Structure 1
Amino acid sequence: MKSYFDLIDQTFGFPTEEFKVNGKYLEFHGISLKDIIKEHGTPLKISYLPKIAENINNAKKWFADAMAKHQYKGDYTYCYCTKSSHFEFVLDEVLDNDCQIETSSAFDLQIVKSLHAKGKVDKDLMIICNGFKRPLYIQYLVELVNSGFTNCIPILDNLNELEEYKSRIDKDFQIGIRVAADEEPNFEFYTSRLGIRYSDINKLYKEEIEGTHAKLKMLHFFINTGIKDSAYYWSELSRFMYKYCELKKICPELDTIDIGGGFPIKTSMTFEYDYPYMVDQIIQNIKWICNKNNVDMPNIITEFGSFTVGESGAIIYSVLDQKLQNDKELWYMVDGSFITSLPDSWGTNQKFILLAINKWDHPFQKINMGGLTCDSMDYYNSEAHSSELFMPLIEEDENLYVGFFHTGAYQESLGGYGGIQHCLIPAPKHVLIDKNEKGELETRVFAEEQTHENMLNILGY
């Protein structure tokens, strides 16, 4: 029987940009996962911070190159969607790479206040405030604008929101309007529940915005599928741009578009996506529509969340034991839970890159992977490229360790980080990996594994 290395090498081609095998052990961005496991144990979450900066700067270069190629007369701004991961170490990396931010809740704005108090952001930080806003969100937003955050921009999501700002902000301020895009054809609804209908936008501007101290700065566009080379995406983007051109002709101060809906990330070793091509086509299409309508090209903002932080994350499990439950179904039981640590794999059937950490020289077999909770849905048994899952045989030389990679977006918040997990499974230890000024890898513990005292305190014991 061939080895696990042969299986991976023949299926995907190996090594890759992120992964290589040193002997029989997997390395992730040059990190010896064997050494990390030896020092910190499992289950273990890892955040490789340099990957955040790499993706940010790649996107900036793609847009700069496309704008130069097409002689595009507008600026580009990279915004990070904080909802993808609110951790301070993520925001520090984002801000160190000259990014702006997009928020979705009241507490996001308290994070901004904390960052400002620590001297990490100035009051000229661009803050794109999205979402359907409860009173507290509006209150914090108004407070920021009145205190001098002049680039804190509420994005109107409903027709009643604007009056709150006009009555409580005591100077000229910027606003944006989110358009309610059509959902993709196979979705349960025709039109997004978020944003303002295309047919209401001009009337809103003429009757509620024009001539007031609210200055319409941007038109905001977002579709759930993200930026994909599909007829649906190009159709919605074109429709949006024609509305921008129409509105620009009656609203001179409008000069910016926000094309929310981010880039996809690698969730499979078979992932293929031509980022420079997509950026080139976006710039070319926007320019063509503006020229056709005799309208100046707008500044462009993107909101990238998963693309920013997703590929920086990983989680490592130990295989505790194997169970043959019938003639065909062999289970590898891991020392964690997919429901609690990788909730997207359970809730939306999201796939991640899954690789063995060790035993690459061993034969392999078809398996199912089971989590620790008592829920029958706590399992992982297929990959993005295949309906099957293969792992090295378990033998006596050492424990088998497995890693799920590119898990850095959403999993902690969806899983209830530091709170109450299903079956009281504790949040795993979390280690940050960075590079120092000499380019050497450095690690530090962000959080130890959650304790029973922490959980009992939450539960009132």
Structure 2
Amino acid sequence: MNTKYIDLIDQSFYFPQEEFYLEGNTLQFHGIDLMKLIEQYGAPLKFTYLPQISNNIQRAKTWFADAFAKHNYSGTYNYCYCTKSSHFKHVLDEGLKNNIHIETSSAFDIDIVNSLKKEGKITDKTFVISNGFKREKYINNIADLINGGHQNCIPIIDNYEELDLLSEEINGKFKVGIRIASEEEPKFEFYTSRLGIGYKNIVPFYKNQIQNNEQVELKMLHFFINTGIRDNAYYWNELTKCLKVYTSLKKICPSLDSLNIGGGFPIKNSLAFDFDYAYMVDEIVNQIKTVCEEEDVDVPNIFTEFGSFTVGESGGAIYKVLYQKQQNDREKWNMINSSFITTLPDTWAINKRFIMLPINRWQEGYERVLLGGLTCDSDDYYNSEQHVNAIYLPKYHKDKPLYIGFFNTGAYQETIGGFGGLQHCLIPSPKHILIQRDDNGNLTTEVFAEQQKSEDLLNILGY
């Protein structure tokens, strides 16, 4: 009988996969022996596999290069990293090895840009696309960057007041973009995004505030929808509406030469994940060119702002199953030695799904379980509702430690969880490890942050 955990995975998915495979009884991730990592650093544990950041950037660049060649597309492609997905220096350092640009969303982001400039990681030629609702500090920081010579900083106008606020602080001419307030999917609780300016108002806004303003040059139209890039009627309909605005604006604004289609590439959240990235890029490029040719305008340079796609698949979290509680005749709770609310807040806040697999004991029998965190909070769990399918893991044995991993967790979890700060029920943040490869391809590891101590939390609390 096929009663081992590996049999269950073989029957359910194509396995092994590019990043996941077994050696003996234990799971390997991008060639990382996870049990050795646990033996060296313990659990709970978070890690970032930095080479995957460069890998995904290069994949996207290749898809756009192929699509441009196929359709004889005359514009350029610019890959921007959306810093809010993960602001950590090691993430930016890795990403910037690949000749990319930056998208910012708040005042302090500009301080990160200035720090990277001092180190020579970016230059005045690097595009800094400044999104978000802007008030005094953000406006001042953008103005200081532009006044200091960074002419490729392009603030994206989010509301009608921002242009005047920027004009007051910036010396001389500067470039801007305009963000389209896209219409949300019908299932949303509201019809139109709070971000940007409505489709019908963009051309009038340009005519009233930019067209005769010698200080301002409109360079970019920014388009993004909350659900991301998906092959469905909703996405293609919104893209078509965006292109109509672009071509209408281009006819009266010669300086407009760039279309920013935002981010939104999905990341792998299941062993059954299937998304044809190359097809989506090809079709986006094809539709942009087709509409521009129909309207007899030049095709735009294309910008993207991939955040989760850049950094998400580099991250992972490892926990130990401490104990199993049989709460009734059907429900078994495997208790982990950390908290989902604090270490993977998206599983709790938005029911986000991550790939979850055991690290060891794949050649043993399995059982259906629920996973619970350490906090005294009824919502600190990860079950079939979040996971879509029931959770099956190797059977719990008190004398046989079981470790489980959550993968592709690299985007947002640290910032949303409040890295280095207070944690719910004062459950400490785990140790965080950075994994890199040297020039010979050998794995190297270093501790980025130790597990929080009681003193760290008590100091924040004022004790």
Scaled to the shorter chain, the TM-score interval is over 0.9
**Are the counterparts in 2 of residues 256 and 300 from structure 1 also a CA contact under 8 Å?**
yes
The answer to whether structure 1 residue 244 and structure 2 residue 246 are counterparts is yes
- Encode CA deviations 1:178-207: one digit per residue, 9 max, x unaligned: 011100111111111110112221122112
Q: Out of 221, 233, 236, which is 1:234 matched to?
A: 236
Tell me by how many angstroms 1:36 deviates. Answer: 0.2
**Are the counterparts in 1 of residues 180 and 221 from structure 2 also a CA contact under 8 Å?**
yes
- Encode CA deviations 1:275-322: one digit per residue, 9 max, x unaligned: 100001001100000000000000000110000000000000000011
**Are the counterparts in 1 of residues 322 and 335 from structure 2 also a CA contact under 8 Å?**
yes
CA distance in 2, matches of 1:96, 1:398: 43
Give the structure 1 partner of residue 358 of structure 2: 356
Give the structure 1 partner of residue 316 of structure 2: 314
**Are the counterparts in 2 of residues 314 and 407 from structure 1 also a CA contact under 8 Å?**
yes
Give the structure 1 partner of residue 12 of structure 2: 11
CA distance in 1, matches of 2:388, 2:232: 23
Tell me by how many angstroms 1:397 deviates. Answer: 5.1
Using the TM superposition, name which of 109-118 and 32-41 deviates more. 109-118
Q: Name the aligned partner's letter for residue 143 of structure 2.
A: V
Tell me by how many angstroms 1:168 deviates. Answer: 1.8
Give the structure 1 partner of residue 393 of structure 2: 391
SS at match of 1:367: strand
CA distance in 2, matches of 1:303, 1:13: 31
Give the structure 2 partner of residue 99 of structure 1: 100
Give the structure 1 partner of residue 340 of structure 2: 338
- Encode CA deviations 1:122-160: one digit per residue, 9 max, x unaligned: 122211000011211011010100001111110000001
The answer to whether structure 1 residue 133 and structure 2 residue 134 are counterparts is yes
SS at match of 2:139: helix
Percent of aligned positions that are identical: 58
What does residue range 258-407 of structure 1 map to in structure 2 within 5 Å? 258-382=260-384, 386-396=388-398, 398-407=400-409
CA distance in 1, matches of 2:434, 2:446: 5
Tell me by how many angstroms 1:169 deviates. Answer: 1.1
Normalization by structure 2: what TM-score?
A: 0.98
Give the structure 2 partner of residue 74 of structure 1: 75
Tell me by how many angstroms 1:387 deviates. Answer: 3.2
CA distance in 1, matches of 2:207, 2:285: 29
**Are the counterparts in 1 of residues 34 and 359 from structure 2 also a CA contact under 8 Å?**
yes
**Are the counterparts in 2 of residues 85 and 413 from structure 1 also a CA contact under 8 Å?**
yes
Tell me by how many angstroms 1:118 deviates. Answer: 2.0
Give the structure 2 partner of residue 200 of structure 1: 201
**Are the counterparts in 2 of residues 103 and 129 from structure 1 also a CA contact under 8 Å?**
yes
Q: Out of 435, 442, 458, which is 2:460 matched to?
A: 458
What does residue range 39-50 of structure 1 map to in structure 2 within 5 Å? 39-50=40-51
CA distance in 2, matches of 1:51, 1:120: 19
Give the structure 1 partner of residue 118 of structure 2: 117
- Encode CA deviations 1:217-272: one digit per residue, 9 max, x unaligned: 00000101111000000000010001100000100000000001321000111100
Tell me by how many angstroms 1:13 deviates. Answer: 1.9
CA distance in 2, matches of 1:61, 1:403: 30
SS at match of 2:384: coil
**Are the counterparts in 1 of residues 370 and 391 from structure 2 also a CA contact under 8 Å?**
yes
SS at match of 2:255: coil
**Are the counterparts in 2 of residues 351 and 383 from structure 1 also a CA contact under 8 Å?**
no
Tell me by how many angstroms 1:384 deviates. Answer: 6.9
Q: Name the aligned partner's letter for residue 80 of structure 1.
A: Y
SS at match of 2:261: strand
**Are the counterparts in 1 of residues 269 and 408 from structure 2 also a CA contact under 8 Å?**
yes
Q: Name the aligned partner's letter for residue 202 of structure 1.
A: V
Tell me by how many angstroms 1:98 deviates. Answer: 0.7
Give the structure 2 partner of residue 210 of structure 1: 211
- Encode CA deviations 1:83-103: one digit per residue, 9 max, x unaligned: 000000000011111110101
**Are the counterparts in 2 of residues 225 and 261 from structure 1 also a CA contact under 8 Å?**
no
**Are the counterparts in 2 of residues 260 and 302 from structure 1 also a CA contact under 8 Å?**
yes
Tell me by how many angstroms 1:394 deviates. Answer: 1.9
SS at match of 1:170: coil
Give the structure 2 partner of residue 161 of structure 1: 162
Normalization by structure 1: what TM-score?
A: 0.99
Q: Name the aligned partner's letter for residue 123 of structure 1.
A: D
Give the structure 1 partner of residue 426 of structure 2: 424
Give the structure 1 partner of residue 22 of structure 2: 21
CA distance in 1, matches of 2:263, 2:125: 24
- Encode CA deviations 1:57-91: one digit per residue, 9 max, x unaligned: 00000000001000011000000000000000000
**Are the counterparts in 1 of residues 354 and 387 from structure 2 also a CA contact under 8 Å?**
no
RMSD: 1.1
Give the structure 2 partner of residue 408 of structure 1: 410
**Are the counterparts in 1 of residues 323 and 398 from structure 2 also a CA contact under 8 Å?**
no
**Are the counterparts in 2 of residues 45 and 316 from structure 1 also a CA contact under 8 Å?**
yes
**Are the counterparts in 1 of residues 356 and 405 from structure 2 also a CA contact under 8 Å?**
yes
CA distance in 2, matches of 1:389, 1:12: 14
Tell me by how many angstroms 1:35 deviates. Answer: 0.3
Q: Out of 221, 224, 229, which is 2:223 matched to?
A: 221
- Encode CA deviations 1:356-406: one digit per residue, 9 max, x unaligned: 000001100000010000000101112777431100012255310000000
CA distance in 2, matches of 1:125, 1:297: 22
Tell me by how many angstroms 1:424 deviates. Answer: 0.5
SS at match of 2:333: strand
Unmatched runs of 5 consecutive residues or more in structure 1: none
